[in-house]
Structure 1
């Protein structure tokens, strides 16, 4: 097998959006204007409103308001997307690598190559258009999340550290040593899962003071790329550069066992799984990859629910809205082939897909399964 990146045919642009039949996963998807001047590193929805936030390698943190309108049929829904506030930037335009919302949806926390944990209240414009710094690492920070049970922010860095922050003070309220660089982390209720270099996966109980629950080697053979906790906090899914996903349980669930499956592969070519995100209502999930493909899956019945046509470029990240009726995904270069394969001027686009329930709702057991 060989590791690859999806071929990028010549495209045309209309404004900031690509035209053509393979620009988006569905012809009715809405392209978000002014999605940034460099690769999109993360995208998340507010837990309380249809507010969409993205982070970019150009140093920007951007927020939009998404409104639905139209017919009664799911297929007739229309989207209107507008800036909620003007974009803000990390200091010196340093790449921003991840962001997280507070539970009330009022505040965004962002981290990146400037080694800073920053806080932005969406109702206010920060001084000099740079969000307030509330913490720091010794190396770039890859991931950030909010811990609802303790009202703390957790950040994972390339300095092999987890740090816990109270937004009211700049010194960490706690630190934990990681076995290697943090590549991704996620939090659901009392479960936090961290994927590190060296294929290390660590789970923590964060109900009170964070306590390590389990440390193990990834069930996948190659480098971890992304991780996402199940909505019911019984386990997590981990994706790797080899085009596979591992489903792992940390708590006993009757009739459920851990397993792994192939997803983002085309014949002998293997593409990185760049992001995994779960649907809150149904517990199903999406994977997006360097092959430019979005897949919807049902882990409980081991089925692929929906496979969308490949788009022109790699897909770097994705997220379901809190209600699950919208799905945001980004298309830009994902650096899976390094800087030598980056083409200056490659469009960076953010799309919103209206989710039809039949695409994401479990269908029950069938004779067919994951490919």
Structure 2
């Protein structure tokens, strides 16, 4: 499907949509917690604090047509697709995972924890779903079985999770990081403390499986490698900051073709980066509310991002009246934004 920057935008321009991106009609009614794309077509799924899981069909002209939705009993926090695009997994504060068969529009509970499920990932190489929970466990599920095939105790609550088989990285509370080699999923390959000084917000495994990125609430990203032999390539850099104001890095996503990545932040900005040349490729215009999540589609031609409250200021949000609701935008990526560049000396405010 061709998707270029020439389509019309259906919403008024301004602070709500400063990057002139396509605005998805009929967005969720509360804070948006995750976005995930089908690996086989341009179908986009979102989860929300309104307990709903929504599926949109993104068409060639940029129109995003709502297709269907299912409901959890409590806020939905995470989503992932099966490798063949036939089903969506979603989890959340009702402590369960639902498998949504799109052909029959039927959701079925297939997994459960004792506390909310914060993250999950489908691992096609082994045909299992992995779920991370605030109950301090990591569980692996065969969707055809009612009990987990494996349960691993975590040192703390799961706050972040990313997998590129066989590398699985779990970010936990108190800055714990658990690095797994899925050839031996019962035992962490490494258990370390985050190199960042504050709470882990997100992680993203490298496409080449040699390392991972960590984002924290202090507006900083760490580039870390699994093996000590590559430790000289590790570094951290500052981002999502405005003078004295520091914002959380809410999500990190790698481009599927170029290996560059994008960060989204509580400052309402998303930035494109190249870790290998150590530089920012482009900083986009600031939205009027935080960007809690974002994701590239299967070929990297579209970056979807949500603009909604992310709870970074707690239950009382002083900007709530100015946010303009909850929105999803579709950004048609340009080569200059996502294609690697020759090395430079700095990336962001490198430490």
TM-score for the superposition, normalised by structure 2: 0.92
* Partner of residue 89, structure 2: 109
Q: Aligned partners of 1:143 and 1:311: how far apart in 2?
A: 26
RMSD: 1.8
Residue 64 of structure 2, aligned match among 59, 73, 81: 81
Once the two structures are superposed, residues 314-344 of structure 1 have per-residue CA deviations (whole angstroms, 9 ceiling, x without a partner) of 1010001110100000000000000112737
* Partner of residue 125, structure 2: 149
Once the two structures are superposed, residues 53-100 of structure 1 have per-residue CA deviations (whole angstroms, 9 ceiling, x without a partner) of 1000001111111122xxxxxxxxx412112x3211113xx1000011
The reply on whether 1:358 has 2:336 as its aligned counterpart is yes
Q: RCO higher in 1 or 2 (8 Å CA, sep ≥ 6)?
A: 1
The reply on whether 1:348 has 2:331 as its aligned counterpart is no
Secondary structure of 1:359 counterpart? helix
* Partner of residue 281, structure 1: 257
Report the Cα offset of residue 189 of structure 1: 1.8
Once the two structures are superposed, residues 150-188 of structure 1 have per-residue CA deviations (whole angstroms, 9 ceiling, x without a partner) of 101010000000011111111111100000000010111
Residue 226 of structure 1, aligned match among 183, 193, 202: 202
Length, aligned pairs only: 339
* Partner of residue 314, structure 1: 290
Q: Aligned partners of 1:115 and 1:65: how far apart in 2?
A: 28
Q: Aligned partners of 1:312 and 1:341: how far apart in 2?
A: 13
Cα gap change, 1:346/1:207 in structure 2, threshold over 3 Å: closer, same or farther? Answer: farther
Residue 162 of structure 2, aligned match among 179, 186, 190: 186
* Partner of residue 43, structure 1: 35
- Give unpaired runs (5+ residues) of structure 1: 1-16, 69-77
* Partner of residue 59, structure 1: 51
Secondary structure of 1:198 counterpart? helix
Whether the 8 Å contact between 1:264 and 1:293 is mirrored in structure 2 is yes
Q: Aligned partners of 1:309 and 1:120: how far apart in 2?
A: 35
Secondary structure of 2:337 counterpart? helix
Once the two structures are superposed, residues 1-44 of structure 1 have per-residue CA deviations (whole angstroms, 9 ceiling, x without a partner) of xxxxxxxxxxxxxxxx86332323521x1111111110000001
Q: Aligned partners of 1:225 and 1:25: how far apart in 2?
A: 25
Q: Aligned partners of 1:207 and 1:267: how far apart in 2?
A: 45
Secondary structure of 1:104 counterpart? coil
Report the Cα offset of residue 312 of structure 1: 0.8
Report the Cα offset of residue 233 of structure 1: 1.1
Q: Aligned partners of 1:275 and 1:369: how far apart in 2?
A: 18
TM-score for the superposition, normalised by structure 1: 0.87
Whether the 8 Å contact between 2:24 and 2:63 is mirrored in structure 1 is no
